[in-house]
Chains A and B, each alone.
Chain A
Amino acid sequence: GAVVSQHPSWVICKSGTSVKIECRSLDFQATTMFWYRQFPKQSLMLMATSNEGSKATYEQGVEKDKFLINHASLTLSTLTVTSAHPEDSSFYICSARPGKGASPLHFGNGTRLTVT
């Protein structure tokens, strides 16, 4: 159980375009989902906390107008990278937990974004 599905697994886009990444909890409801970004040989950095039915909470230094998060239902959160630039190229991973704050996070398979 506790499966998180993320799509697409990789995407290549041109500079200036927007990319949408979907994150679904397949067998549980998630009122909260988390979006992480990981650059090569670095650790996961929390970008934002996605809350169902309300605005996302962004970490310091993460531009909310550039990384749009929508958590429209208890099983789906989307991250849209707007006006992408080569420096946005990274590994984006979503996660969720079926229980409350003490339970572990389960991760999607990640999305490798390359902006040319």
Chain B
Amino acid sequence: QKEVEQNSGPLSVPEGAIASLNCTYSDRGSQSFFWYRQYSGKSPELIMSIYSNGDKEDGRFTAQLNKASQYVSLLIRDSQPSDSATYLCAVSRGDMRFGAGTRLTVKP
């Protein structure tokens, strides 16, 4: 079992729609959870961090964490073509482990 698993992509949504990205992790001792966005050929940039169960909203982005189910998700509302990128779920218990990423395409 992989430490961090993300739903297989690619994911394609029309402009203005909601994009839903999912992630599960295996280490119950994980304490911190992050979503990064990575454009092709670039390094990851932090979008959201979440540390406790529930929802956390930041602009068009909402992260959801359920530690009992070992599940993290990211919702992107009003998706824009500029949101097209690979989204990486990361889980930390000191060092940080990444999922394989979900490639999102937002079509105009």
Contacts and interface: CB of A to CB of B under 8 A. Distances in A.
B92 A44 contact: no
Interface residues of B, number: 23
Contact of A46 (B31, B88, B95, B101): B95
Interface in A77-116: 91, 93, 95, 101-110, 112
B94 to A, nearest CB: 5
A109 B42 contact: yes
A12 B45 CA distance: 25
Interface string B21-46: 00000000001101000000111111
Given A43-B88, A104-B46, A106-B46, A34 B98 contact: no
B30 to A, nearest CB: 11
Contact of B96 (A34, A42, A112): A34
A104 B95 CA distance: 10
A49 interface: yes
Given A34-B96, A46-B96, A107 B32 contact: no
A34 to B, nearest CB: 6
